[in-house]
Structures are given as C-alpha cells and as structure tokens.
Amino acid sequence: MRTAYTADQIRGAEHALMARLPEGALMQRAAAGLAAVCADLLGRVYGRRVVLLVGSGDNGGDALYAGERLARRGARVEAVLAGSKTHEAGLRALLDAGGRVADGHVVEAADLIIDGLVGIGASGALREPYARLAQEANAARGTVVAVDVPSGVDASSGRVEGAAVRAGVTVTMGAYKTGLLVDPGAAVAGRVELCDIGLGPYLPDPDVAALTGRDVDGLLPRPGGESDKYRRGVLGVAAGSDLFTGAAVLAVGGALRGGAGMVRYAGREAPVAQVRAQWPEAVVTLLDEPSIEHVGRVQAWVLGPGLGTDAWAHELAARVLATDVPVLVDADGLTLVSRDPGLLRRAAPVLITPHAGELSRLIGADRAAIEAARLEHARRAAAELGVTVLLKGSTTVVAEEGRPARVNVTGTPWLATGGTGDVLSGLAGALLAQGLSCYDAASCAAFLHGVAGGLAADGAPLAAADVATAIPAAMRTVAEAAR
C-alpha cells in the first residue's frame, strides 16, 4: 500500500529524525537521491546544461547540493536565485564545484530544470518571481524535476491556486505527500520517485493511502470448495427506467462480472426486457408497484442508476433503504436522497458514488470548489452524511469517517464516457454482497474499474459495456501482479 502524509506530519517526522543526525545530514541524503534521479534522466551528465530554480527554503538547499553533485560530474549548472535569501552553504558548495549563478533568462535552453522554488510548507498562489519562473519552466524544452512537490501545489491537499510547475518527474523525500496523489496536484507531478531518507520509523498513521494490485488481490473474495451461488453473495439491483434501460443492463453486467453469486434485478417493464435479453443469468422481477417484497433475499443493493426521480422511484428508493443490508446509492438515487436526506438515516451501511455535481447537491457545495479540493469535500460528505463516499473523477477518492482516505491510482481518460459509472456501481455492489465493507468494496471496485478501463481502451475509445467485459481480465491482472 502506498501511504501519503500531510506537510505537518512530514515535518514532525523530519524533526524527530534530525534530532538523531549530524547537522545537514538529512539535506545531504535528499540531495544525493535527487542528483541520482537527475543523472539517470540526463543519461550522459558531462556537458549537459542544468538550471536550478532556487527558493529561500530547504528545497532550494536540496537543489543547490544536488546541483553541486551534478557539476562535479561535468554538468554545466546554473542557479537562478529567486528567494529573498539563499541557503549559503549549498550555494558555496555549488560554486566550489564549478556551478555559477545565472544572470539572465536561462531556463529555456536547459536540458534539465530542477524546481526548488518552494517546499511542502507553502500554501496559496505562487508570488513573483516564483510564478513567472514556474511558467518559464513549463514552457521550456528541458525535463522538469520537482523537489518534494511541484511548486504551486499544496502538499497536504493537492490544491493548485494559480501558476504551478508541471513536472516530468517529482522526487519526493522520505514519504509520499497527499498532494501528489490527489488532483489537481497529482496531474502536474508527473512520475513520482520516492527518495528514502530514513523517515519511516518516525511517520505517524497516514493521511491518505492508495491500494496496490497486491492489496486488492488480497481483499478480493475467492470462492472455496463449499461455495454455492448464495454463499458467494446475492446482489439486488434497483435501476433503470423506460427512458434509461441501458443503465440497468450495465449495472447488472458490472455485478455479474464482479463475481456476485447471483444478481436479482428488479425494475419496470422496459428495462426488465433489456436485462432479460442481455443477461439471462440474472433473476428478474417485474415491478408493477414500487415494492421489493417479492424480489427475494439479497446481501446488498445497488440503487439508482437510470432509475428516474419521480414519485415511483422515490418510493422504491425508500423501500430499498429501509432494508437492513448495505446499499450503494448512485446517479438518480443520489438526486432522490439529496431531496430527501432522511432516506440516508439508517443503521445499515451506505456507500454513495457521486461525481462532483452530484456531491454538490448533497452537501450544498460549489462544484468547482469540490473539483479544486476533492479530498476535503469527500471527507466532509462522509462526516456530514454518515456514509462511505466514493467521489468519482480525475482522482477517485474513497472517504469514510475515522479512516485514512483512499485514492485510486488506476484508470484512463477514456473512462470518461456514458455508462461507465453504472458498471462501477454494479462491480462495487457485487463486492458488497460478497462481504466486503463499504470502504474496501469502494476501493477495490475503483481499482479494478480503472484496470478494466485501461485494458478495454488500449489507447482507443471504449464503450461502457467493454469495461464490464474486461473486469475478469482486470482481476486476473491484479492476481498475476501479486504473485
């Protein structure tokens, strides 16, 4: 599992470690790791042009000492001193190694640019000249390497307010920072390389975690010799309407491909016909009235994709949410509970799977504000609503009160197409029915959905049904990676 920490958590660990080390030793460790990554990127170091963007803080010191090491290997290293002060020992070391202070605009011609402008303690928009230098670095042809976090990214949240460095590689020291795993910060971090400087024993419980394929493989239910279709989990799906029959088909498909022992679909005549035609494996109940008493026993429900938001749909949602099993609420179901929040007041677990627009209606927040601070708003929703939240989007966030948020690191932009969320709901519902908690079901479903999307797309457009079809291959992929 990849764990990440806030700036305050990192600083606390650094202070504890520095108390046991000679002065300056921690910065030298960081500089050595940074220089090694830069040398690998350059390939041939001798004669290559390296520009350091140096701020006033320790990131500037890291950049200067890394520049010194590259200069001693024959690189032409120039430092742009942007801060009100400069790490004196680091600058002296660079100059002694043959580096120099730049006296003009040199960023554009660099082979490699090291961003040491601001570190993990910075917040808010970059001030000048930092903002201008960030823009120059982004426009330059050379590879940009950020020290710890790209300048302009809030290390604790991933917020970006104004200009930010777009790094090709970020070398982060000691541990991952939350802002490197959550958009918009993650989007400008590039490839993240972790430099071990010895912080491990001093780190607290993480702020955020990202599951790996091995983690997911370890959580996924596996049938045993005594398994039957009932023991493997029975999922109820209340989805689809006369207008949106496809949502029912896709949710049921995601559930069947997700390993549920049985899927019971309950709906109106038009989606019932489509589900029967597409998925003969599903047990189908035609609902003349919004009642689920004849559907049969289930271990979990998926509620909402394409359901509609009329009085009939509201009554069906109320019946499903009145049960004593976990319920996943998505799409139209989220609209219904945003209008009637009392529907969520239940003892059994609830997993909601909104995108930013749906979450904005649930918690009364601006959609743009949610997109800018996804982690903050997912946590807020989990606390205020008393549910587990899977916030869909460029970074999928899973939040549950009292536990580290989880972010998903799989996926492809090709998943941004109609119906893929219905497949995700069915997949997550299947995992709920098989006994996973909302927290684990949401996290594993997001991971597998992303892998399946990548397999289905393979660099080209996909349809939502392709993602459902690829779920078993995604499960095999994580199993093979875990061996």
Q: Can you give the pLDDT at residue 228?
A: 67
Q: Do 201 and 232 fall into the same domain?
A: no
**Which range marks the domain in which residue 400 is found?**
213-482
Q: Do 158 and 271 fall into the same domain?
A: no
Asked whether residue 394 is marked as a ligand-binding residue, the answer is yes
Which of 173, 206, 239 is the C-terminal boundary of a domain?
A: 206
Asked whether residue 62 is marked as a ligand-binding residue, the answer is yes
Q: Can you give the pLDDT at residue 123?
A: 85
Asked whether residue 120 is marked as a ligand-binding residue, the answer is yes
Which pLDDT tens digits describe the chain residue by residue (483 residues)?
999 999 999 999 999 999 999 999 999 999 999 999 999 999 999 999 999 999 999 999 999 999 999 999 999 999 999 989 999 999 999 999 999 999 777 888 899 999 999 999 888 899 999 999 999 999 999 999 999 999 999 999 999 999 999 999 999 999 999 999 999 999 999 999 999 999 999 999 999 999 999 999 999 998 876 766 777 899 999 999 999 999 999 999 999 999 999 999 999 999 999 999 999 999 999 999 999 999 999 999 999 999 999 999 999 999 999 999 999 999 999 999 999 999 999 999 999 999 999 999 999 999 999 999 999 999 999 999 999 999 999 899 999 999 999 999 999 999 999 999 999 999 999 999 999 999 999 999 999 999 999 999 998 999 999 999 999 999 999 999 888
Asked whether residue 122 is marked as a ligand-binding residue, the answer is yes
Asked whether residue 355 is marked as a ligand-binding residue, the answer is yes
Q: Do 198 and 224 fall into the same domain?
A: no
Which of 206, 223, 239 is the C-terminal boundary of a domain?
A: 206
Q: Which CATH number characterizes residue 70's domain?
A: 3.40.50.10260
Q: Can you give the pLDDT at residue 482?
A: 81
Which of 147, 178, 206 is the C-terminal boundary of a domain?
A: 206
Asked whether residue 119 is marked as a ligand-binding residue, the answer is yes
Q: Can you give the pLDDT at residue 192?
A: 97
Q: Can you give the pLDDT at residue 41?
A: 97
Which pTM was predicted?
0.92
Q: Can you give the pLDDT at residue 106?
A: 85
Q: Can you give the pLDDT at residue 262?
A: 97
Asked whether residue 366 is marked as a ligand-binding residue, the answer is no
SS (HEC) of the chain: CEEEECHHHHHHHHHHHHCCCCCCHHHHHHHHHHHHHHHHHHCCCCCCEEEEEECCCHHHHHHHHHHHHHHHCCCEEEEEECCCCCCHHHHHHHHHCCCEECCCCCHHHCCEEEEECCCCCCCCCCCCCHHHHHHHHHHCCCEEEEECCCCCECCCCCCECCCCCCCCEEEEECCEEHHHCCCCHHHHHCEEEEECCCCHHHCCCCCEEECCHHHHHHHCCCCCCCCCCCCCCEEEEECCCCCCHHHHHHHHHHHHHCCCCEEEEEECHHHHHHHHHHCCCCEEEECCCCCCCCCCCCCEEEECCCCCCCHHHHHHHHHHHCCCCCEEECCHHHHHHHHCHHHHCCCCCEEECCCHHHHHHHHCCCHHHHHHCHHHHHHHHHHHHCCEEEECCCCCEEECCCCCEEECCCCCHHHCCCCHHHHHHHHHHHHHHCCCCHHHHHHHHHHHHHHHHHHHHCCCCCCHHHHHHHHHHHHHHHHHHHC
Asked whether residue 247 is marked as a ligand-binding residue, the answer is yes
Q: Do 43 and 157 fall into the same domain?
A: yes
Asked whether residue 125 is marked as a ligand-binding residue, the answer is yes
